[in-house]
Amino acid sequence: MNANLESLASPRRSDAVADRLRGLILTGVYAVGSRLPNERDLSESLAVNRASVREALKRLEFLELIEVRHGQGSFVREIRASSALQLIEDLLQDRRTITAELLRQILEFRRHMTVHAVELAACNRSEADVDRARALIEREACDGREPAVALEIDVEMNALLGEATGNLVYQFLTNLFTRLLRKLGPLYYNEQRDFARSLGNHRELFAAIEAGDPIAAHRVIEEMLDYSEAAIMLEANRLEAEGLIGPAARAPST
Amino acid sequence: MNANLESLASPRRSDAVADRLRGLILTGVYAVGSRLPNERDLSESLAVNRASVREALKRLEFLELIEVRHGQGSFVREIRASSALQLIEDLLQDRRTITAELLRQILEFRRHMTVHAVELAACNRSEADVDRARALIEREACDGREPAVALEIDVEMNALLGEATGNLVYQFLTNLFTRLLRKLGPLYYNEQRDFARSLGNHRELFAAIEAGDPIAAHRVIEEMLDYSEAAIMLEANRLEAEGLIGPAARAPST
DNA sequence: CTAGTATAGTGGTCGGACCTCTGACCTCAT
DNA sequence: ATGAGGTCAGAGGTCCGACCACTATACTAG
């Protein structure tokens, strides 16, 4: 535990403080229902100004991880009582709060959300959406063998899917998963990736959406999700078995 | 409306400032891509300290309504680029940002999310969940004719549904909709409500979930959603036609 | 004309003062 | 004893004014 590294981790002090406190809360160091140290003590022990601590606490309050009560203090809330979906992003940020079961739950939701999103996209996509998707797929056909490019294209495709639904709620959700993909993607976009399969799936999905055929789109996306989920869960189970993720995770041996 | 009530609404300055700026952004007074006044000017024109302005801006940044760039300023983001689902709560807070179309989109998502949630609940509910639901329904049978009680029971039922899914993501989502229900429910929980129908539906849904029968649960919840959505959209279309909600909404005549 | 440098404007941090709210304790008249 | 009211400590909320760090721009020297 090097305090220097942590303080340099994030350009903004308040973000660094928020990350630190978030970790302490999510890993149970600060138990549910307990009171955090007061702002003055926190600012002293973290060696930052109280304003930075306050901004950090604000962020945790926004995530509904804590409840700040005037005159009393800040209290740790039950995470399951939160309504901040972005929390899953935070949970995936610490090795100790990632579990295979959590991933399974996230993927379970993603599946249903994505299936419905592509159906909506097939019904509501605009001509502009179609053109953009076509350009993306052409680019994939050219440079898609490069993992970094493939990831970037998947990210763009995901974002485009959200827009094409014509539903703001689905757009928010796909935006969230797009960000997760961008952040976690590098973990499994490697040279072993099946480039031809991915390109083929994209083309099929595109064709279905362009044709306005939600049934076909549904069929294709299910196949894509089967493949994606299997790959992720395989890796997750392996990591958990090796103790690299989960409540008692230790650093990788490198 | 009543200025006194508003001034008491937000005990915290930073929240009041955030609400004000949020309104200005969502109604387009501050256009997408434009730069907000700098923090010093904002604090002067709003007659609050710069720290309060900063905390407000932080909140808007969490909601991904603005992007704060060190050395440059704060810029309004495209709302559709956000991934903060809680934004729908903010959108429903200002008469001018509520539209029948937005409600339709929200209900479209709620339907699919809820259907899947009850299916999961039917598969994963614990005995404790069953007991709590049974108690709720008994209470509804007794006092459910009172609109305030009926709303409270629906709220509890909704929260319970989220827990019963056994999926953290669905729990976050149901928590969000539970909060929306609690806030907006009073609008259409009135004496005209069909008490017997509601109680009957709850009993059917409960029976299906207790029996672990996702198919039956699916059927019941669809019926409930049909009814609920029809009522909401009828009201929404009426309000929009009368110009009480929507981009050019005016205060009700009363 | 280019490269490097001042500078102004913006957000980021600081510290230290004071206000307001809450809960616990204390006092005192009943 | 008991309850109403006052007092006080400790918590978050707000304020002020100063300074630091980053960015874009304009300017200057080569």
Provide the pLDDT confidence category of residue B191 given band limits of 50, 70 and 90. Answer: low
Between CA A170 and CA A192 the distance in angstroms is 31
Q: Give yes or no for a contact between B114 and B50, defined as CB atoms under 8 angstroms apart.
A: no
Tokens standing for A198? Answer: 């991915």
Site from A15, A57, A64, A83 to mutate, B interface, most B CB atoms within 10 angstroms: A83
- Is the confidence at residue B5, as pLDDT, over 70? no
pLDDT tens digit sequence for A67-79: 999 999 999 999 9
Name the CA dihedral angle for B150, B187, B164, A171, rounded to a multiple of 10 degrees.
170
**A 99-158 residues with CB below 8 A of B?**
102, 105-106, 108-109, 112-113, 116, 120
Strand D atom within 7 Å of B192 CB = no
pLDDT tens digit sequence for B28-66: 999 999 999 999 999 999 999 999 999 999 999 999 999
Nearest chain A residue to B108 by CA distance is: A167
Nucleotides of D under 7 A from a protein CB: 10-18, 21-24
Between CA B87 and CA B101 the distance in angstroms is 16
In this prediction, residues B187-205 reach a mean pLDDT of 81
CA triplet A238, B123, A32: central angle to 5 degrees?
Answer: 65
pLDDT tens digit sequence for A181-213: 988 887 777 667 778 888 899 999 999 999 999
pLDDT score recorded for residue B253: 62
Q: Give yes or no for a contact between A76 and A31, defined as CB atoms under 8 angstroms apart.
A: yes
Comparing CA positions, the residue from A108, A68, A60 lying closest to residue A84 is A60
Neighbours of B134 (CB within 10 A): 13
pLDDT score recorded for residue A193: 76
Of B84, B112, B168, the CB nearest to A172: B84
Between CA A144 and CA A254 the distance in angstroms is 29
- Is the confidence at residue B245, as pLDDT, over 90? no
pLDDT tens digit sequence for A93-138: 888 999 999 999 999 999 999 999 999 999 999 999 999 999 999 9
pLDDT tens digit sequence for B100-136: 999 999 999 999 999 999 999 999 999 999 999 999 9
Over pLDDT 90: what percentage of chain A? 72
Between CA A150 and CA A143 the distance in angstroms is 8
pLDDT score recorded for residue A102: 96
pLDDT tens digit sequence for A143-169: 878 888 888 898 999 999 999 999 999
Between CA B25 and CA B2 the distance in angstroms is 23
Contacts of A172 in chain B (CB under 8 A): 82-85, 87-88
3-state secondary structure chain A: CCHHHHHHHCCCHHHHHHHHHHHHHHCCCCCCCCECCCHHHHHHHCCCCHHHHHHHHHHHHHCCCEEEECCCEEEECCHHHCCCCCHHHHHCCCHHHCCHHHHHHHHHHHHHHHHHHHHHHHHHCCHHHHHHHHHHHHHHHHHCCCHHHHHHHHHHHHHHHHHHHCCHHHHHHHHHHHHHHHHHHHHCCCCCCCHHHHHHHHHHHHHHHHCCCHHHHHHHHHHHHHHHHHHHHHHHHHHHHCCCCCCCCCCCCC
Of A58, A167, A176, the CB nearest to B105: A167
B71 at interface of A, judged by CB pairs closer than 8 A? no
Tokens standing for B35? Answer: 């730069």
Contacts of B171 in chain A (CB under 8 A): 80
Tokens standing for B36? Answer: 């907000």
Strand C atom within 7 Å of A35 CB = no
Nearest chain B residue to A178 by CA distance is: B83
User: In whole angstroms, how far apart are CA B133 and each of A42, A156, B20?
Assistant: 42, 43, 40
Output the CA torsion sign for A23, A25, A28, A29: positive
pLDDT score recorded for residue A253: 62
pLDDT score recorded for residue A7: 34
pLDDT score recorded for residue A147: 80
pLDDT tens digit sequence for A8-58: 456 789 999 999 999 999 999 999 999 999 999 999 999 999 999 999 999
- Is the confidence at residue B6, as pLDDT, over 60? no
- Is the confidence at residue B88, as pLDDT, over 70? yes
CA triplet A76, B126, B113: central angle to 5 degrees?
Answer: 75
Provide the pLDDT confidence category of residue A4 given band limits of 50, 70 and 90. Answer: very low
- Is the confidence at residue B7, as pLDDT, over 60? no
pLDDT score recorded for residue B177: 95
User: In whole angstroms, how far apart are CA A232 and each of A99, A149, A227?
Assistant: 12, 20, 9
Task: Kindly report the average pLDDT of chain B as a whole number.
Answer: 90
pLDDT score recorded for residue A9: 52
Nearest chain A residue to B164 by CA distance is: A80
Task: Kindly report the average pLDDT of chain A as a whole number.
Answer: 90
Strand D atom within 7 Å of A74 CB = yes
Strand C atom within 7 Å of B166 CB = no
